[in-house]
Structures are given as structure tokens and as C-alpha cells.
Amino acid sequence: MSVKAEKLGFSRNIDDFPWQKVVAVVGALGSGKSEWLLNLANAFLANEENVTVADVDIINPYFCIREISVLLKRMGLSVILPFRGTQWSDLPSISPEVDRAFDAPGRLLIDIGGDPRGAMALTQFAPRMEQTGYSLVAIVNAFRPQTSTVEGIEAMIRSIERVSGLQVSAIISNSHYMSDTTVDDVLEGYGTAREAAAKMNLPIIFVGVPEGAMEEAERRFKGEKVSLWPVSRYILLPWERGGM
């Protein structure tokens, strides 16, 4: 029996942005791309959409959706993985099912590797994405060296755009120190992301907040015209799995 998507109260915020059929997330390594892709997938699922998640991470076979594909299928997501036998290698293997998913009903979410190298996986899909309609969202963690400044964020996004041939549609501020993240950290990172977004004329559609800190974050962000999102974690680190 499948596990239905949780009817999360924040999922209504998913409608505040004009999402296209194809959604892909990009960003520096360690920004939280895969977690955000799954948070968005769960929100679309809660809106009773058909959702397919495609793993085209050609950079790192770990800490990506192929690790938890069984769980995702139980949640009700359709999952496309690399060819059997290459899932845990660093070979650039992408299933032809991804191309077919462009014509299938429902929403297609694409999980790619980090940095501009990871965005190379999108080049083969760029014509289909432009034809079908796409939303390319940059996940920004201002505590990663590559994206710790406004100039670094802009350089990363422009590089990804050059490599992929696609245009970033929006930014999600996801500044974090994993389980040690505080609301002060979230606010500090948002300040950097907001300045970069303004410089590039891009909207910040969400600010990621640790699930247990929403009440404090709502109080501290009062007056800011941005949606806060309690980020659920699906992909655990090896030492966290061992404690379960």
C-alpha cells in the first residue's frame, strides 16, 4: 500500500509561483538541491498532481534521490533512475525514460548534480525543456564558499546558465549548517541571497527554515515579503542513518 503525500499546510504556497511542467533545481554542492527537489515534489503531490522525479545526477551517486527511491515510490512519486548497474558509479548514465517523461501527464522534476558540471546533464534536454516549459530554480546556501558573497552567487548562476543553455527562473534561499542551523543563520543567509537576487532581477520564492524553528522564524521575518518553508529532510547522512 502506498504512503500518501502528507497534506502539509505550507503546500498552498506552491501556487504562489507560476511553475512550468518541468522543474529543475541547480546550485553549488552542499546547497540542498536534492532535498528541495523532494520538498517541492511532496508539495505538488499534496496538490494531487502526478509527479515524476528523474535522477540525472552525473556528479555524485551518493546523497541524491537514488538512495531513497523505494521510499519515494511508496510516497506516490514515479521515479526514474540511471541504468541498472550504473546507479552507484560516477559514470554519466541517464535513462531514456527521462525524455519520454516530457510527454507524459503530470509534473516532471529533474535532480541534477552540483555546480556547472552537474548542469551539463541538462544540455541534452534543453530543447525539450524550452518547448515544454520549464522552471529552473537556483538553491543558494550562503555558507558555502562558492556562494558566500553576492558576486559568488551571481557567478555560479551565470555559469550554470552558460553551461546548460537555460535561464534561471528564481532563487530559493537555503542557507544552513545542517542540524546546527539557527534562525540567525537563516536570516544572515537570506540577506546575502536577497541582495544577489535583486542584482539579477530574480525573485526569491522561498526561504528554507529548520522544521522546528518556524514559529521563531515567522516572528523574526515579520514584514519581509517572502514565503518561509519548513524544510523536511529525506536524505540522511551515514552517521544519521546508523542512529535510526
Cα distance between the two ends of the chain? 23
pLDDT along the chain (244 residues), means of 10: 40 80 92 91 93 81 62 87 53 73 95 83 92 97 96 97 96 95 98 98 96 94 92 65 41
Consecutive H or E run containing 156: helix 150-164
DSSP one-letter string for 163-206: HHS----EEEE---BTBT--HHHHHHHHHHHHHHHHHHT--EEE
222 belongs to a structural domain: yes
The count of structural domains within the chain is 1
User: CATH no. for residue 32?
Assistant: 3.40.50.300
90/180 Cα distance (integer angstroms)? 30
Cβ pair 190, 211 in contact under 8 A? no
229 belongs to a structural domain: yes
pTM of the model: 0.86
126 belongs to a structural domain: yes
What residues make up the domain containing 26? 15-242
Cβ pair 115, 59 in contact under 8 A? yes
189/140 Cα distance (integer angstroms)? 9
